[in-house]
Structure 1
Amino acid sequence: MKRNKLYTYLIVGALAMSSCGKEFLQKLPQGELSEPQVGNKEGVEGSLLGAYSILNGNVSGTWGNYASAPSQWLFGEVASDNAHKGSEGGDQPYMANIESYKATSVNDNLSTMWQVYYEGILRCNNTLKLLAADQSGAKEITEERAKQIQGETKMLRAHYYFYLWRIFKKIPYLDENTTADQALTIGNDVDVLPKIEEDLRFALANLSEEKYNNDAGRMNKRAAQAYLGKVLLYNKKYPEALTLFNAVMAGTDLSSMPFWNNFDVTKENGPEALVVSKHAISSNGNPENGNVGDMLSGLSGTAPVNCCGFYQPTIDLVNAYKVDANGLPLLDNYRSNPYVSDFGLPEIQKENYELNVDLAFDPRLDYTVGRRGVQYLDWGIMAGDSWIREVVTGGPFVGIKTMVPKTLFGVQTAPGEYYITGLDVNIIRLADVYLMAAECEIEAGSLANALKLVNAVRARAATLAPKKAESGVNAAKYNVKPYPSFPDKNFALKAVRFERRLELAMEGHRFFDLVRWGIAKTTLESYSAFEGGIIPTYKNLVFNTNNEYWPIPQEELDRNSNLKPN
C-alpha cells in the first residue's frame, strides 16, 4: 500500500462536463500533488475520481491485476465449483493454490488484492480529508455537493472494505483520521463489518436517486440500498435487507431488461446495472482503464482472441444447466450421465465429433459457456480444443461473458490486444437483488413471494434466443419454465441457491455464496469427487473451515507487527 502520498487525477473541462459516457473515469497521467495544491473544488472532485478508478481493480498498467479484478473471478469463481484456473497446469501456480485451497501468506494474488483495495481506501480517506479542509476554509464546494461527495466516497470505501473482508475477514480499519504512522501499527482484531455498514447507511441517507452530473458510473441512493441490503444479508439481518431490496425492485420489470444486455458492450448503463465498474478503451488506444482484470480470460490457439486461456467453466457448472421434461433444474441429480462435450475421446472420434442437439438445457448455458459446435458471439462456431490452451487440465469449455464481438475489435478492445476490452463489470445487478430478496422472503416464511421472484428471473431466461449449432439447427432442446410451487423452506432454499448459480455464473459470486450459506465444505468436496472423476487434477480436494478466507499477506505481516495471521 502506498503511504505518505496523495494520488489524484488532473481534470480537464471536457471530463468535468461529461454526462453518461465512459469519459467519467478515463484517466490522465497520475501526478503526486501536495494537499494545498488540491485542497479546492477541482482537487476534491479529482481526488474522488481517483477513488472511483480503483473500482476496476487497477492502479496502473495492465498486466498483473487479475486477483483484484472487480469480477473477482479468481476468488469468487475459480475457488468454487464454477470455474477452473485454465491455461496450462504450470502457469500461475499461485492461482492453482487458490483453486486447490493451499494458498499461503506468500501467494502474490493475496498481496495484489490487499494492496489494490487498500489503495482505494487510501484514496477515499484522502478525498474526505480534502473535503473537510475545504468545508472548514474556503467552502468552494456547496453544502449539498459536500454531502453527496461524502456519500459517494463512503460508499466506495465500504465497497473496498467489503471486498477485503470477504477474502481476509480479519483486516485493519483505517479511516480519514488515521495518520500514516498509525496505519503501520493498527491491528486486525476488530470486526470491520459494522464500519462497512455505517458507511453504507451514510451513503443511503445522503445520496439522491440522480447520479451526479448524470455520470452512469456514479454511486446513488438505489446503489446504496442494494449494497447495504447485500451486507445486511451477509450478516443475516434479513428483514431490514428485504426492505431495502424491495425499494430497489419497486416498479421494475425484469422481463423488459434482456439478460444479454448485461454483457453487451453496446447496451451498457441499462436499468439492471446498479453498482458497476466502468471500463473504457481510450481514443488513443490506451487500455489501462479497460477491463484489465478479466484479460486472462481471453481464449487461446486459433480463437479470434488467442490470449490467455484462463478462467474456464467447469464440467460441473455446465451440467447444472440440464433441465427435466418440465423445464426445471435437476436439483439433486444433474451430475447423472454427465455431458462432457468431446472431452477424453480418442483423436479419431474427436475429429468426427458432432454436437448432440437433443439434450435439454436452460438457454442461459450457451450465453455463459462456449462449447464445441455452438455459435459463439459473432466469432463463428466454437471449435473445441483448438480454442483452448490445455484441455487436459482446463476441460473442454470456455467462458463468454467477458468477451466482445469481432466487429468491435479495435473499438472496444486495445489495439492488437483483443483480450483487453471496454466491457463494464456489474458488481451488483437487478437479478442479483431479486434472488437475494427471495432468500430474505424464505427466511421470513413468505415462500409465495420468494417463488414469484425466482420465477421472474426464470421467465426472463425463457426469452433468450436459441443458439445455433454448426448444422444450423438449435444447439439444444432449450427449455426453462417456472416452478409451480415451493412446497417447503428446504426446497425453496435449494431452488433459490441453484438459481443464483444459473443466473450469476462466472460473475464472481459463487464461492462467497457457498461460504455465507455454510455449505462450502460439503459442496466443494462433492464437486471435487465428481469433477476429479473426469479430470484427475481436481480429485481429492479438501476444504476446511479455515479455507473460508485467505491468509494475510506475509509482506503486510512483516510491515506491521500488530497484524495477526489468519
Structure 2
Amino acid sequence: MKHLKYIFLSFLICSIYSCKKDFLAVQPQGGLTVPQLTSQDGVEGLLVGAYGLLNGNLNGTWGNYGAAPSQWLFGEVSSDNAHKGSNNGDQPNMNQIERHAPTSTNDNIANIWDRCFEGIQRCNNTLKVLASLQAGGGTVKFPDARALEIQGEARMLRAHYYFFLVRIFKNVPYVTEATTTPTVPNDKDIYPNIVDDLQFAVTNLPATKPKNQVGRMDKYIAQSYLGKVFLYQKKYAEAYALLNAVILAKPDLVTLPYTDNFDITKKNGPEAVFSVQHSVGTDGTGGDNGNVGDMLNFPYGNGLPINCCGFFQPSIDLANAYKVDANGLPLLDGSYRNNPYKSDLGLSASDKLTYQVDQTIALDPRIDYTMGRRGVPYRDWGLMGGDTWIRDPSNGGPFVPYKNVIEAAQIGSGSAPGNTNITALNVNIIRLADIYLMAAECAVETGDLGRAMTLVNKVRQRASQLPPKLINGVPAAAYKVGLYTSFPGADYARNAVRFERRLELALEGHRFFDLVRWGTAKQTLESYFGFEGGFFGYLSGITINPRDSYFPLPQDQIDRSQGALKQNTGY
C-alpha cells in the first residue's frame, strides 16, 4: 500500500466530518459536504482517511504514545514485560499506567480513545457516502464487486479500532454509520458487533490485496482477526478453524527469518499478516506518516545513532524469562527468577568500570533480539554501553528496547528528516508466529495437545536458527533452544503455550491483554511486583484490584455525554 495514506483527501477528513474530541459530533462544521464527496474518488479518499488513523496520528508527530499501534504502553508497560523507563518526571502520567493507578484525566487514555473513535468515524463516513453513491446519489457508482470490497475494508478497519478500545476500556459505546442520536450509552457488550464486521470482511475481502496495495485489508487479515476475537471470547473451536486456515495458506514459519519482522528493509514479508504501514521523508509529510507512537522508545545517550528518549525499558523479570534449562527449554516453574541476572544494575561505580557480560548463562537467543544488554552487540550500533545508553537506570533498569529500533546504516533513508526517532519501520498487529501460538492455545483448550506441541515447536525451531551475538568471536551467552518432547497434560501444555507467547511476542503489545483474558493478571502481576519491586522501590507493594483489568474512560467524554457514558466500576 505504498503511499496509500497520502492521497490528498486524507488530509481533508478533519474538515469534512468534525474531527473533534467529542466523538459523537456528527454534523460537519464546514468543508466538503456529502454531495461533494459522493463519487468514486470521494469514497476512495474517505477510505484512505480511515486507514490513516492506524498509526495513531491525528494532528502532529508528538503526543501519540497512548495510541501507538504497537500498544507499548497499555500492552507492555502495564504488564510484567517493561518499565516506562526514562526518568520519573518525564511523561509522569505514564507512571500511573505502569503502577496501575490511572486517573480518568490521564492524557494517554484520552489519546487512544480519541484516535480510535476518529478512525471509527472515518470508517462510518466511508460507508455512509458509499451507500449514497450506490443508491444513485452521485456520479457513476462502483461495480458491485468493488463496493463490497470497500465495505469489507471499512468494516475490517472499524472492527480493529473497536477491538483496541474494548480491550482497554471494556465498556465502549457502539457508533455506526446509521447512528443518529448525539449520545450513545456504553452499557452493552460490543464484541458481537465486532464479530459481525469481521465476518462481513471475511466473506467479502479477497485473498489478494485490493487495488494491489500492500497495506490494504484482505481475507487473511480478516480471518486472523476474527480468530483472535473468538479466542478472546473463549470460542476456541471457532477460532481454531479460522487460524488453521491462515496457517495452511502461508509458508512454513520455520522458513521465515525471525529478524525480518524487525528489519526496515524486509517490511511486508510473508510473516507480516497485518502490519501498520509507516513512511517518512519521501511522502512529503516529514514524519507524520512514520512510527510516531514509538518515537520515545530509543536508547538515550550522547553520540548514539538515535538519542531519544530512554522510554520502554524491558524488565529484569522479562530478561530472566529467557533463561533455559539443560535441554534448552524454558523454566516454566518460575525458577528463572533464582539468582537473577540483572546486568550491571546495582554495582558500584568502580565495579561498573570493569564489568564484563557473563557469557556462560544459558539463554534463549531471542533475548538479544528483544532487548539490549550491556556488552552485547546491539544491531550495528556496537556493544550496548550500559548506563551511557540509559537515561536513569535506577528508574528504568539496565536494558533497552530492540525490536522497534533500526540499524544505524538505515537512518538516512528510514527516518524522518531532522527526527531520527521517527522511523519507517512498520508495526505488526498480527504476524504468523502469533497465529501459530493462538492456534496452539485453541488446540490446548480443545484437547488437541499433540497439535499444540507441534505448533509451539515450530516457533521454537525457528528461534533456534537465530545467529548468535558474538563478543570477540565468542557467543554472548550459552544460547540454546530445545524442542518439547511431550505435553503430558492440559495444564502443562497451557503453561508452555502461554510462556512461549511471552518469549516470542515480548514488547509487541500483547502481554497485558493476554494476562487479562487468561484471568491471571492479578496473580502474575502481584508476583512480578514482588520480584521487580526488590530492584525498583516504586513497584514494591502494588496490588491488583478487580478494576485493574481495564482502564477508566476519559472524564471529558463522560462530561460531554450528558449522562450516557458510565465510568468503569472502581474509578
Q: TM-score normalised by the shorter chain: which range applies? A: over 0.9
Cα separation, 2, equivalents of 1:140 and 1:173: 29
Summarize deviations over 1:76-101 as a string: whole Å, max 9, x none.
00000000000101111111001101
Pair 1:359 & 2:358 matched: no
Return 5+ residue gaps in structure 2 as ranges: 16-31
Superposition pairs of residues 431-450 of structure 1, within 5 angstroms: 431-450=433-452
Cα separation, 2, equivalents of 1:416 and 1:314: 31
Deviation at 1:359, TM superposition (A): 0.7
**Match in the other structure for 1:557:** 558
Deviation at 1:139, TM superposition (A): 4.3
**Match in the other structure for 1:13:** none
Pair 1:57 & 2:59 matched: no
Pair 1:388 & 2:387 matched: no
Deviation at 1:485, TM superposition (A): 0.6
Cα separation, 2, equivalents of 1:274 and 1:422: 18
Cα separation, 2, equivalents of 1:249 and 1:102: 40
Pair 1:203 & 2:201 matched: yes
Pair 1:274 & 2:273 matched: yes
**Match in the other structure for 2:26:** none
**Match in the other structure for 1:212:** 210
**Match in the other structure for 2:342:** 340
Cα separation, 2, equivalents of 1:158 and 1:203: 10
Q: 1:413 aligns with which of 412, 415, 421?
A: 415
Residue-pair matches, total: 542
**Match in the other structure for 1:508:** 509
Classify the secondary structure of the residue corresponding to 2:313.
strand
Whether the 8 Å contact between 1:282 and 1:289 is mirrored in structure 2 is no
Superposition pairs of residues 100-249 of structure 1, within 5 angstroms: 100-137=99-136, 138-179=139-180, 182=181, 184-249=182-247
Whether the 8 Å contact between 2:7 and 2:45 is mirrored in structure 1 is no
Classify the secondary structure of the residue corresponding to 1:312.
strand
Whether the 8 Å contact between 1:467 and 1:475 is mirrored in structure 2 is yes
**Match in the other structure for 2:292:** 292
Cα separation, 1, equivalents of 2:82 and 2:7: 32
Cα separation, 2, equivalents of 1:292 and 1:468: 32
Whether the 8 Å contact between 2:64 and 2:292 is mirrored in structure 1 is yes
**Match in the other structure for 1:312:** 313
Q: Larger deviation: 91-100 or 311-320?
A: 91-100
Whether the 8 Å contact between 1:272 and 1:431 is mirrored in structure 2 is yes
Deviation at 1:285, TM superposition (A): 6.4
Classify the secondary structure of the residue corresponding to 2:217.
coil
Percent same amino acid at aligned positions? Answer: 56
Cα separation, 2, equivalents of 1:318 and 1:216: 35
**Match in the other structure for 1:457:** 459
Summarize deviations over 1:507-564 as a string: whole Å, max 9, x none.
0000000000000000000000111112222111111111000111000010002110
Counterpart residue type for residue 396 of structure 1:
P
Whether the 8 Å contact between 2:4 and 2:215 is mirrored in structure 1 is yes
Whether the 8 Å contact between 2:39 and 2:133 is mirrored in structure 1 is yes
Over the residues paired in the alignment, what is the CA RMSD in angstroms? Answer: 1.0
Whether the 8 Å contact between 1:27 and 1:289 is mirrored in structure 2 is no
Classify the secondary structure of the residue corresponding to 1:136.
helix
Whether the 8 Å contact between 1:300 and 1:389 is mirrored in structure 2 is yes
Counterpart residue type for residue 388 of structure 1:
I
Deviation at 1:410, TM superposition (A): 2.1
Structure 1 315/373 Cα, relative in aligned 2: closer, same or farther at 3 Å? same
Structure 1 124/164 Cα, relative in aligned 2: closer, same or farther at 3 Å? same
Cα separation, 2, equivalents of 1:322 and 1:24: 43
Cα separation, 1, equivalents of 2:268 and 2:422: 20
Pair 1:26 & 2:26 matched: no
Whether the 8 Å contact between 1:26 and 1:280 is mirrored in structure 2 is no
Deviation at 1:216, TM superposition (A): 1.0
Cα separation, 2, equivalents of 1:386 and 1:417: 21
Cα separation, 2, equivalents of 1:139 and 1:262: 42
Summarize deviations over 1:211-245 as a string: whole Å, max 9, x none.
11211111100110000000000000000100000
Cα separation, 2, equivalents of 1:269 and 1:92: 32
Whether the 8 Å contact between 1:285 and 1:415 is mirrored in structure 2 is no
Counterpart residue type for residue 393 of structure 2:
V
Counterpart residue type for residue 154 of structure 1:
R
Whether the 8 Å contact between 1:285 and 1:414 is mirrored in structure 2 is no
Whether the 8 Å contact between 1:275 and 1:427 is mirrored in structure 2 is yes
**Match in the other structure for 2:79:** 80
**Match in the other structure for 1:12:** none
Cα separation, 2, equivalents of 1:342 and 1:291: 31
Classify the secondary structure of the residue corresponding to 1:450.
helix
Counterpart residue type for residue 479 of structure 2:
Y
Counterpart residue type for residue 25 of structure 1:
K
Whether the 8 Å contact between 2:314 and 2:371 is mirrored in structure 1 is yes
Classify the secondary structure of the residue corresponding to 1:375.
coil
Whether the 8 Å contact between 2:77 and 2:84 is mirrored in structure 1 is yes
Whether the 8 Å contact between 1:357 and 1:476 is mirrored in structure 2 is yes
Deviation at 1:26, TM superposition (A): 3.1
Whether the 8 Å contact between 1:370 and 1:398 is mirrored in structure 2 is yes
Summarize deviations over 1:134-189 as a string: whole Å, max 9, x none.
1001442111000000000000000000000000000111000113xx2x321100
Cα separation, 2, equivalents of 1:472 and 1:257: 26
Pair 1:96 & 2:77 matched: no
Whether the 8 Å contact between 1:410 and 1:416 is mirrored in structure 2 is no
The alignment's TM-score, normalised by the length of structure 1, stands at: 0.94
Cα separation, 2, equivalents of 1:206 and 1:522: 42
Cα separation, 1, equivalents of 2:477 and 2:319: 13
Cα separation, 1, equivalents of 2:489 and 2:357: 38
Cα separation, 2, equivalents of 1:167 and 1:525: 20
